[in-house]
Amino acid sequence: MSTPEQNKAVLERYYEQCLNKGNLDVIYEGATEDHISHGTAENGKEGVEHLKEWVRLQRASFPDLQVTVNDWILDGNKVVSRFTARGTHTGDAYAGIIPAQGRALEIPGIVIDEFNDEGKIVESWFSMDSYDLATQLGAFDAPPA
């Protein structure tokens, strides 16, 4: 059975290697094949491949993406991470609809990850203010005259 500290270490590796450096294969080390993700696409989207694709899309929009965890809360088989994501929107259109304008992004978020006894993530709940994100990226700016 994994300990809360071991579970946190899995997430620390995920944040540093996968989100911040783009090593997407780290996902396979930390999440189960049937991982369920809430808040990254359709609620309850399943599968480690979905998680990998979600990270790939974030890094395609923000090639310099850096995620810093500000707080950790360890509670049994769940780990909560309150984070700040920073990056510059110089890549692909975000979510396929907001074109890159070279704008900086700095946005807080929170994730609750649930682990199985083997220390792998089985389910995640992700929350970030999508309106704030879209505003920072210029989605609601008036079109140029």
pLDDT of residue 43: 56
What confidence tens digit (pLDDT) does each residue in 120-134 have? 999 999 999 999 999
DSSP letter (8 states) at residue 52: H
Tokens of 45: 């989207």
pLDDT of residue 92: 95
Domain limits at 116? 4-136
pLDDT of residue 48: 87
pLDDT of residue 107: 97
Q: Would residue 143 count as lying in a domain?
A: no
Q: Would residue 142 count as lying in a domain?
A: no
Q: Is 81 helix (H, G, I), strand (E, B) or coil?
A: strand
Residue type, 55: V
pLDDT of residue 44: 59
CA dihedral sign, ordered 61, 73, 8, 35: negative
pLDDT of residue 112: 98
Q: Would residue 97 count as lying in a domain?
A: yes
Q: Would residue 141 count as lying in a domain?
A: no
Give Cβ neighbours of residue 10 (< 8 Å, ≥ 6 apart).
29, 30, 115, 119, 120, 121
pTM over 0.75: yes
Q: Would residue 144 count as lying in a domain?
A: no
The low-confidence residues of the chain, meaning pLDDT below 50, are none
Which CATH number fits the domain that encloses residue 60?
A: 3.10.450.50
pLDDT of residue 8: 98
pLDDT of residue 42: 59
What domain count does the chain have?
Answer: 1
Q: Would residue 73 count as lying in a domain?
A: yes
Q: Would residue 145 count as lying in a domain?
A: no
pLDDT of residue 142: 80
